[in-house]
Structure 1
Amino acid sequence: MTGNAVRRPGLDARGFLTREGSLARVPPAFRPVVTATRDRLTDVFGHRLHSAYLYGSIPRGTARVGRSDLDLLLALHQEPTGADRDDARALGAALDEEFGQIDGHGTLLFGRARLLSDLERYDLGWFVACLCTPLLGEDLAAHLPRYRPDSLLARETNGDLALLLPSWRRRIAGADDTEEARRPLVRFMSRHLVRTGFTLVMPRWHGWTSDLHEMAEAFAGFYPERGEQMRAAAALGREPAGDAAVLAAYVGDLGPWLAGEYARVHGVKAPRP
Structure 2
Amino acid sequence: MAETLLSRGLDAQGHIAREGSLARVGHDFRPVVAAARNRIPDLFGSRMHSAYLYGSIPRGTARVGRSDLDLLVVLRAEPTDADRAACRTLDEALDEDFPQIDGGGTLLVGHARVLSDLERHDLGWFLACLCTPLLGEDLAGQLPRYRPDSLLARETNGDLALLLPRWRERVTSAGDSEEALRPLVRFMSRRLVRTAFTLVMPRWNGWTSDLHGMAEAFGAYYPRRAEQLRAAAVLGYEPRGDRAVLSSYVDDLGPWLAEEYARVHGVKAPRPEGA
Q: TM-score, normalised by structure 1?
A: 0.98
- CA distance, structure 2, for counterparts of residue 76 and residue 96 of structure 1: 23
1:182 maps to amino acid: L
**Structure 2 partner of 1:18:** 17
Task: Say whether 1:63 aligns with 2:62.
Answer: yes
1:218 maps to amino acid: A
- CA distance, structure 1, for counterparts of residue 151 and residue 182 of structure 2: 33
- CA distance, structure 1, for counterparts of residue 8 and residue 53 of structure 2: 21
- Report if the CA contact (8 A) 1:195-1:212 is conserved: yes
Offset at 1:8?
4.3
**Structure 1 partner of 2:149:** 150
Offset at 1:86?
0.6
Task: Say whether 1:210 aligns with 2:209.
Answer: yes
**Structure 2 partner of 1:78:** 77
SS of match in other structure, 2:63:
coil
Offset at 1:43?
1.1
- CA distance, structure 1, for counterparts of residue 65 and residue 207 of structure 2: 27
- CA distance, structure 2, for counterparts of residue 105 and residue 45 of structure 1: 19
Offset at 1:178?
1.6
- Report if the CA contact (8 A) 1:176-1:182 is conserved: yes
**Structure 2 partner of 1:226:** 225
- Greater Cα shift, 121-130 or 8-17: 8-17
Q: Deviations over 1:141-165 (max 9, x none)?
A: 0100000000000000000000000
- Report if the CA contact (8 A) 1:8-1:206 is conserved: no
**Structure 2 partner of 1:88:** 87
**Structure 1 partner of 2:191:** 192
Task: Say whether 1:49 aligns with 2:48.
Answer: yes
**Structure 2 partner of 1:39:** 38
Q: Deviations over 1:219-268 (max 9, x none)?
A: 00000000000000000000001111100000000000000000000000
Task: Say whether 1:264 aligns with 2:263.
Answer: yes
SS of match in other structure, 2:162:
helix
Gaps of 5+ in 2: none
Q: CA RMSD in A?
A: 1.3
**Structure 2 partner of 1:165:** 164
Offset at 1:179?
2.2
**Structure 1 partner of 2:245:** 246
- Report if the CA contact (8 A) 1:186-1:236 is conserved: yes
- Report if the CA contact (8 A) 1:8-1:208 is conserved: no
- Greater Cα shift, 39-48 or 134-143: 39-48
Q: Deviations over 1:3-54 (max 9, x none)?
A: xx77642100010011001000001110000001000111111111100000
CA, structure 1 residues 42+126, in 2 after alignment: closer, same or farther (shift >3 Å)? same
Offset at 1:85?
0.3
1:156 maps to amino acid: E
Q: TM-score, normalised by structure 2?
A: 0.97
- CA distance, structure 1, for counterparts of residue 264 and residue 175 of structure 2: 37
**Percent identity of paired positions between Structure 1 and Structure 2:** 75
- CA distance, structure 1, for counterparts of residue 7 and residue 191 of structure 2: 22
SS of match in other structure, 2:68:
strand
Task: Say whether 1:97 aligns with 2:93.
Answer: no
**Structure 1 partner of 2:173:** 174
- CA distance, structure 2, for counterparts of residue 8 and residue 160 of structure 1: 29
